[in-house]
Amino acid sequence: MNIIDSNPPTPKRIEPRNLYIGLLLIAIGSAWIAHNVGWMGRRTFDIIFSWQMLMVEIGGFLLVVRRWLPGILLTVAGGLLLLSDFFNWEIPIWQNIGPLAVIVLGIAFLVQKKR
């Protein structure tokens, strides 16, 4: 006679940070392949693999791990810089806002409470 287990095994839950990193790496690899086979133009490839996009990606990761203030600041700053680069906006205010944003971001990292 077989014993029937009334509690079936529960599938392992993927942690949000691992899910984010895994999907990000898959997207990066897919974009890289798309560029290498000619499905993606050079401009799009340069935007995807830019330091501004890296800011957005790091900001997204910080949001996933619930580091709200630095995550929002990095994501918004990176997004604005991406938009200004994509649309070729000449924003002279960036000369002052850029360094100020970096300073604010540094302060945000320093004052955020540990859990």
- The rounded distance, in Å, linking the Cα atoms of 50 and 78 is 10
Q: What is the pLDDT of residue 92?
A: 65
Does residue 99 belong to any structural domain of this protein?
yes
Q: What is the pLDDT of residue 94?
A: 61
Q: Is the pTM of this model over 0.75?
A: no
pLDDT, tens digit, for every residue of 55-85? Answer: 999 999 999 988 888 888 889 888 888 888 7
Does residue 32 belong to any structural domain of this protein?
no
Q: What is the pLDDT of residue 115?
A: 58
Does residue 33 belong to any structural domain of this protein?
no
Q: Give per-residue burial for 56-66: e unless 16+ CB within 10 Å, then b.
A: bbebebbbbee
Structural domain total, the chain: 1
3-state DSSP of 37-71: CCCCCHHHHHHHCCHHHHHHHHHHHHHHCCCHHHH
Tokens of 2: 């077989």
Does residue 113 belong to any structural domain of this protein?
yes
Q: What is the pLDDT of residue 38?
A: 92
Distance of CA 1 to the CA centre of its chain: 54
What residues in the chain have per-residue pLDDT under 70?
Answer: 1-6, 8-9, 91-94, 113-115
Which domain range does residue 59 map to? 43-115
Q: What is the pLDDT of residue 103?
A: 82
Does residue 86 belong to any structural domain of this protein?
yes
Does residue 67 belong to any structural domain of this protein?
yes
